[in-house]
Amino acid sequence: MRIAVAKEVEVGEHRVAAVPDVVARLVKQGLEVWVEAGAGEGSFWSDRAYEDAGAKIVSDTAAIWGEADVLLKVGVPYEHEIEQMRSGSTLISFLNPFSQHNLVQRLASRRVTAFAMELIPRTTRAQSMDALSSQASVAGYKAVLIAAAALPKYFPMLTTAAGTIPPAKVFVIGAGVAGLQAIATARRLGAVVEAFDIRPAVKEEVQSLGAKFVEVNLDEDTVASGGYAKEVSDASKERSQQVIAEHVKGADAVITTAQVPGRKAPLLVTEEMVAQMKPGSVIVDLAGESGGNCACTEAGKDVQRHGVTIIGPINLPSSMPVHASQMYAKNVLTLVQYLVKDGALQLNFEDDIVKSTCVTHAGEICNQRVRELSLSLVGNG
Ligand code: NAD
C-alpha cells in the first residue's frame, strides 16, 4: 500500500501532514511512502530527512495525487487537486465538510474514501487522533504570546529598583482546549488570569491551572452531546454579557476562543465593552475565522478601536509549524495505524471512529450529518 504526503499549496500554510519520524514508523510497518518534493520545507524538514526516514521524494504533483492509495494532507484540498485522485483511493485531511459541500460531492462522485480530521470523535479512545485538540492547543499558546507582544506592559509582576510593576490581568473567554492552553501560558508568563465558559463543568480545570473561574448562573442546560457548548437563549446571552462586560473592563488582555460547532461564533464582546477598556489593552480573538467573539474583530487583521488593539489571527497553528505538524502527523499516524490491517485499509462502518470521521466512501456521502446537510442544500436549490 502506498501512502503519499502532499505539499500544502495554500498561501500561509506551513504545516505538513507527516514528519520524518512518522514516515519512518509507516515504512517500518511495511508501507511504501512517497513525499512530494519540498513538502516539509515550511516546517523545516528537508527532502533529505524524509529520504533518510525511508520515503521516496516525488517531484511530480500529479503522481502524488494520482498514484497514492492513501493521500495525507493538512489543509482542505482544492477541487483541482482531488480531480487527480484515483477512484477507490483514500484521502485523510481537514476537509471542513459542513461548509465545503461541493468538495464533498466531488469526493463522493470520484469514489474517493475521505476522512475528515475535524470529525475525529472527542472520546478517550480517539484522543491520540484528535487533531482539533492538538492544533487548538497550539493556537491557545500562540494567542497569549501575540497578546503579550502587543501589550504595552509587562505580563509578570516585577519588583525592581525602578519601582514595582503589577502583573497584567488576562481574561480568557471560552475554556475549551485553546482556552485552557491560553490560561496555562498566561499563568506561566506571570499574569493574573480569569476565565469564563458557558459550560460550568470546566470550572475545576480552570482553577487547577491557577485561574479564577467567572461564574454566571444560567437557567438552562448549556452542554450539547459530545460535551460541546450549545447555542443558548437570548436571555442567557444577555446575562453572560453583563458578567463578561465587568471582567473585560478590568482586563489588560482578553483572549476569546468561544465556539459552538457548526454555527457562527457567539458574539460576546460588544463594541461598548471595547470602549470601556483601558487604552493600550489588547484583544486576541481566536474565533475571527468563524465570525468573531468580538464585534470589532476583522479576521486576519489588527484593528484599533477606542485605543484598544483587536487582533483576529488566521490559522495560528501554521505559525508554529514544527510542533503543529509533529502533533498533526502523530494524530494522522494513529488513525492510519487504526485503519490499516495486514497492509490494507479495513473499514468497519460499525466502529464509531470510522463512522464519525469517514465522509465519503464508494460513491456515497456516508457521514450522516454531512449527508443531511448536503441533501437539505440540494432541496433548497
Ligand atoms: P470549541 O472550540 O467548540 O469551543 C471553545 C469553548 O468555547 C468551549 O469550551 C465552549 O464551551 C465555549 N463556548 C461556547 N459558547 C460560549 C459562550 N457563549 N460563552 C462562553 N464560552 C462559550 O471547544 P473545544 O475546545 O473543541 O472542546 C469542546 C469539548 O470537547 C469540550 O467539552 C472538551 O472538554 C471536549 N474535548 C474532549 C476530549 C476528549 O475527551 N478526548 C478532547 C478534546 C476536547
**pLDDT exceeding 90 applies to what percent of the chain?**
86
List, for residues 136-147, the tens digit of each pLDDT value: 999 999 999 999
> What confidence score (pLDDT) does residue 249 get?
97
Respond yes or no: is residue 50 known to be catalytic: no
Return the beta strands (E) in the chain as ranges.
2-5, 32-36, 56-58, 70-72, 90-93, 113-116, 158-160, 163-165, 169-173, 192-196, 212-213, 253-256, 282-285, 302-305, 308-311, 340-341, 344-345, 358-361, 364-365
pLDDT band of 79, cuts 50, 70, 90: very high
Respond yes or no: is residue 225 known to be catalytic: no
Choose, from 50, 110, 130, 325, the residue flagged as catalytic: 130
All residues at 6 or more sequence positions from 200 whose CB lies less than 8 Å from its CB, including other chains: 215, 222
380 pLDDT exceeds 60?
Answer: no
List, for residues 194-226, the tens digit of each pLDDT value: 999 999 899 999 999 999 999 988 878 888 777
CA-proximal residue: ligand 1, atom 19 (nearest): 198
* 3 state SS of 120: coil
CA-proximal residue: ligand 1, atom 38 (nearest): 122
List, for residues 275-310, the tens digit of each pLDDT value: 999 999 999 999 999 999 999 999 999 999 999 999
Which of residues 208 and 229 earns the better pLDDT score? 208
- Would the CB of 227 count as within 6 Å of ligand 1? yes
